[in-house]
Structure 1
Amino acid sequence: MKRIGFGVTCGAHRLWSHRTYEATLPLRIFLMILNTASLQNDIYEWSRDHRVHHKFSDTDADPHNSTRGFFFAHMGWLFCKKHPHVLDKGKTVALDDIAADPVVAFQRQFYKPLTMIFTFYIPTYIICYYFGEDYYSAFYLSCFRYCFSLHSTWLVNSAAHLYGVKPYDTRINPRESKLVQILTVGEGYHNYHHVFPFDYSASEVSWTQDLNLSTMFIDLCAKLGLAYNLKKVDPKLIQSRVERTGDVTLNQIYLENRSGSFKWTSVLSLIYLLLIIPVGVVLVRKVFF
């Protein structure tokens, strides 16, 4: 379930929407497949809405404006027509770089059949064939996985804009949320992210200090030569911004709490890393060979 989430966090969000790092063709194809399995709109549309969200955050031009309440920011925005300001302001956001990527273009052209294959057919097949479940149980489990991943992602737009602390900029709505951080494998550092959206980690601290599996995955890809030009914010710039717009005392407490969690987060991350590789290899061998 969380591996599929990488298609949104490491793919549509950090790679394509914000260009926080660059990826080779094999990694882009892999992330595109995971993103397709998440069924949260194709990469082009997801990135378009997200860039508009950042540029006009919590205004009528924001697709999921949190000032309209939790439900609207969470999922209500998908049940109604977009506000006219979203359509007008959205035209001012550049998307040429995303449209120029052939991987994105391929996914967009064949998005519907690809989602049927990667979102429902393959997960259902794996559950049936390798875990002995009947077809209906396997299909319902696939649907549950899909619904869980949807609500986890939507919490970034709702809970992370309404509940939590704001150590980096007290003037904006996005906040740091531990719950969202865990459910979205690293996207809960939302106050930091809105202040420094170009940081590939979406957090001031590394995955060895706090549980951020998406950053761990990108770092692993960088070690393998699949990801490069990872962008990170200068600590002096962060400190300067905290002193200017944030809460210095709160930020110190916030960082101290994370520094103390080095051991358990490192262990959890390494366990996850040791599991994801062999499980992935076994499934690939069983399905394709």
Structure 2
Amino acid sequence: MVAFPDNERCDIAGRYEPEGAENHEETEAKSKDATKPPSRCIVWRNVILMFLLHTGALYAIILIPKAHPFTWIWSYTCFIVTALGITAGAHRLWSHRSYRAKLPLRIFLAVANSMAFQNDIFEWSRDHRAHHKYSETDADPHNAVRGFFFAHIGWLFVRKHKDVIEKGKRLDVSDLLADPVVVFQRKYYRTSVVVMCFLLPTLVPWYFWGESIWISYFLASILRYTISLNVTWLVNSAAHMYGNRPYDRNINPRENRFVTFGAIGEGFHNFHHTFPFDYSASEFGLRWNPTTCFIDLMCWLGLAGNRKKATPEMIKARKLRTGDGSV
């Protein structure tokens, strides 16, 4: 995702405006054009790159039968590591502080997050906190009210709404800046992405079992990366539109089993937005929740602790008060 330059902004309709360029004549002109369909601040670089990425992923599918079985296993392993870098790392640990992780685990999750290539931990966590605090408003980076396409991928194709910038600056991110792992990863993010997202996944199959570098690159890097992106985006789109709301019928996020399966436990979204502090992001513990299994394993190994959990009494009371009556 492209950062929003300080000297550029979009108005509420999404139009581009240089800072300080507005004058009386322009204001008058805008009022006359108010009925015209709004233009968008399209980030064409992102549009082109995403088109090429998805085209490469489609091409990679035809290479699957030609790949060594170990390459399939390796690609899926990289997908799981990629997912944990987001779910257990940027999301549940750094965005919500739903559990604590010791230094070795934080380093692993930061490395996995670089393999995910979805912005560095600081930016991902800051935007996610804005998503929760200002959910389904113009200050939400991927506001689902603007439609499935926008919530899924379209938000990357346009400049951030000015409310995302302005209200995002009010968020307390001091805890992120106080974590040396977060600061280090942010400083060397580009290098870490090249190594972890592209070089390592490609070179391992080529070096260890003689896989074609071409097949290795398209399967373990391009296809794996594209799938991981879309799985994450489905939490922003499908899980905000399709499913039931047993915990809070007054908010858009839903319980979506399809997303839960693909996003290794992140589809219990009505629960998560109702109880964002819960480390499991679900009422059901380990059920369909590999991320919770991973965190529990890390706690058993002594690498994590202080897991926060909504109590059964708290959950039951909330269901009765604001739930939609579904299970």
TM-score range, shorter chain: 0.7 to 0.9
What do the CA deviations read for 1:139-183 (whole angstroms, capped 9, x no partner)? 111111000000000000000001111110001000001111011
Say if 2:272 is the partner of 1:193.
yes
Q: SS of the counterpart of 1:192?
A: helix
Q: SS of the counterpart of 1:92?
A: coil
Say if 2:282 is the partner of 1:203.
yes
CA contact (8 A) 2:241 2:254 kept: yes
Residue matched to 1:66: 144
Say if 2:247 is the partner of 1:162.
no
Alignment partners' CA distance in 1, 2:105 and 2:143: 32
**Alpha-carbon shift at residue 89 of structure 1 (Å):** 1.2
RMSD: 0.8
Q: SS of the counterpart of 1:217?
A: helix
The range that moved more, 11-20 or 81-90, is 81-90
- The letter for the 2-side match of 1:74 is H
Alignment partners' CA distance in 1, 2:290 and 2:194: 27
Q: Which runs of 4+ in 1 moved over 6 A?
A: none
Q: SS of the counterpart of 1:173?
A: coil
**Alpha-carbon shift at residue 92 of structure 1 (Å):** 1.6
Residue matched to 2:13: none
Q: Counting helix residues as a fraction of each chain, which structure ranks higher?
A: 1
> Based on CA coordinates, which of the two structures has the bigger radius of gyration?
2
- The letter for the 2-side match of 1:186 is G
| Percent identity between the two aligned chains | 56
Please, which of 182, 187, 196 is the counterpart of residue 104 of structure 1? Answer: 182
TM-score of the aligned structures, taking structure 2 as reference length:
0.75
Alignment partners' CA distance in 2, 1:128 and 1:71: 37
Say if 2:310 is the partner of 1:233.
yes
Tell me how many residue pairs correspond in the alignment: 248
Residue matched to 2:69: none
CA contact (8 A) 2:139 2:164 kept: yes
Residue matched to 2:96: 18
Q: SS of the counterpart of 2:244?
A: coil
**Alpha-carbon shift at residue 136 of structure 1 (Å):** 1.3
Please, which of 146, 151, 154 is the counterpart of residue 230 of structure 2? Answer: 151
Q: In structure 1, list runs of 5 or more residues that go unmatched.
A: 252-289
Alignment partners' CA distance in 2, 1:79 and 1:185: 26
Superposed, 1:34-49 pairs within 5 Å as 34-49=112-127
Please, which of 142, 155, 165 is the counterpart of residue 87 of structure 1? Answer: 165
TM-score of the aligned structures, taking structure 1 as reference length:
0.85
Q: In structure 2, list runs of 5 or more residues that go unmatched.
A: 1-78
CA contact (8 A) 2:105 2:303 kept: yes
**Alpha-carbon shift at residue 3 of structure 1 (Å):** 2.4
